[in-house]
Amino acid sequence: MAMLHTVNKSPFERNSLNSCLSKSKEGSTILLIEDAVVGALKGTKVAEQMAAAIANKNVCVLGSDLNTRGFAETDILDGIKIVDYAGFVDMVAEHSNVQSWL
C-alpha cells in the first residue's frame, strides 16, 4: 500500500518539502501540516513544483493549520484536498507506513 508523507516546515525556509517531493513515489499521499501548509498556496515560488506533484500524487493540507495562519480554501492550488484532524487520523490508519519529513 502507498506511503503517507507528512511535511511540517515552510518550503521557503527549509528544503524538506523539496526532499519529500523528490523522494516520494507516484500515487503516494503527501500531507502538509503546521508551517508547511503555505506550500499549498497559489502564486508562490514553489507553486510550479507543487502543480507537478499534484499531477501524480495525492496532495492534502490540514485545514485547521491553514486557518490558523489566515488562509482559506480559496487561497490554495486546485487539486489539493483539505483534511481535518479526523481525516488525518484516517489517513495514518489507511496507509501502510508514514514518513515524516522534518
Which residues of the chain form contacts with other proteins (CB under 8 A)?
Answer: 8-10, 12-13, 34-35, 38, 41-45, 47, 63-65, 67-72, 84-85
Q: Among residues 26 and 70, whose Cβ is nearest to other proteins?
A: 70
Q: Among residues 9 and 28, whose Cβ is nearest to other proteins?
A: 9
Query: CA 31, CA 80: separation in Å to the nearest integer?
Result: 10
Q: How far is the CB of 63 from other proteins (least distance, A)?
A: 7
Q: How far is the CB of 99 from other proteins (least distance, A)?
A: 19
Query: CA 46, CA 99: separation in Å to the nearest integer?
Result: 21
Q: How far is the CB of 67 from other proteins (least distance, A)?
A: 4
What are the φ and ψ backbone dihedral angles of 88, each rounded to 5 degrees?
-60, -50
In 3D, which of 43, 44, 40 has the Cα closest to residue 30?
40
